[in-house]
Amino acid sequence: MIVAGIDVGGKNVHTVIVSDGNIIAKAEGPTGIKKAEAAEQFYNEALKQAGLKREDVERVVATGSGGKRATFADGYIADAAADARGVIRLVPSARTIIDVGGEEGRAIKISAEGKVLDFAVNEKCAAGTGTFVDTMARALEVPVEEMAKMSLQSTRSIPMNAQCAVFGESEVVSLIHQKITKHDIARAVHDAIAGRIGSVARIVGLENDLVMIGGVAKNVGFMDSLKRELGMNVVTPDDPDYVGALGAAIAASAGVLEEEVKAKVVEKETIEEGK
């Protein structure tokens, strides 16, 4: 059986094509403003990579904040549910998930079967998200990847506000004027986000194994800060930013529920009316 999962996030779209439980193709790219078009584009890219046509795929399930804009999908599941399914497949011993993407950070407690037992979300605040990282990297005038590596070279800890991305940026400028090194500021930024995410994670309780996914999981500086903040080991699967899409594909292979199809039809009609 060939199925597909598509995660339309606030910043990026991730798509996977799965054949008999194995990922055979994947594609990603910026979501942009036109989410429906981005979803189509990166689904088509994944299909092309796999050498498949749409009709070869038995079912597509979408997830993510823009998931319902993927009107070609057969169903939709909530992003935390997709995370749970994806993580439990990759790390069967997982019991706590932290997912930090471009616009949202969340912590999820799951059962051994991958059921979502509890969740906490860093809602209307950019301070615990990839957006915060991007903003601070811009303030330091370095690419995000370089800021991540720089923070590992820091030897001291500088407390920094992580309650607000706007105040955080202003604080970075102040630290630069105080001639604090970029390495130390980079570490302060990651420590601040880790503190914020740690607070969210503690709401659901931290139980091993703790798995970190989402785009920010690829940030080595943040991961170092998070492990120090939480004082526990953090498992990061390969391609952590694709786990949501994988979870959606797993949902697709499990079967699409009637109400999901009905919901999709209603959403499609609503979107078409809005054009």
Residues contributing to the site for another protein (CB under 8 A): 65, 77-81, 84, 115-121, 123-124, 203, 257, 259, 262-263
252/19 Cα distance (integer angstroms) = 11
Closest approach, Cβ 220 to another protein, in A, equals: 29
Whole-Å CA distances, 74 to 3, 70, 265, 268: 11, 9, 9, 11
- Under DSSP, is residue 204 helix (H, G, I), strand (E, B) or coil? helix
Strands 105-110 and 59-63: unpaired
Q: Which two tokens stand for residue 237?
A: 């699967």
Nearer to another protein, 111 or 157 (CB): 111
Please, which residue, 123 or 269, has the CB nearer to another protein? 123
- Minimal distance in Å, beta carbon 98 to another protein? 16
Query: Least distance to another protein from the beta carbon of 195, Å?
Result: 17
| CB-nearer residue toward another protein: 1 or 257 | 257
Least distance in angstroms from the C-beta of 228 to another protein:
24
Task: Output b/e per residue, 138-160; b: 16+ Cβ within 10 A.
Answer: ebbebebeebbebbeebeeebeb
Please list the residues that pair with 238 across neighbouring strands.
none
Q: How far is the CB of 188 from another protein (least distance, A)?
A: 26
Q: Based on CB atoms, which residue is closest to another protein, 126 or 139?
A: 126
Nearer to another protein, 56 or 118 (CB): 118
In this structure, which amino acid lies at residue 216?
V
We find the least distance from the C-beta atom of residue 179 to another protein, in angstroms, to be 33
**Going by C-beta distance under 8 Å and a sequence separation of 6 or more, which residues neighbour residue 78?**
63
> What's the CA gap between 17 and 14, in Å, rounded?
10
Strands 75-76 and 96-100, bridge-based pairing:
unpaired
Nearer to another protein, 163 or 208 (CB): 163
Measure the CA–CA gap between 197 and 98, rounded to whole angstroms.
8
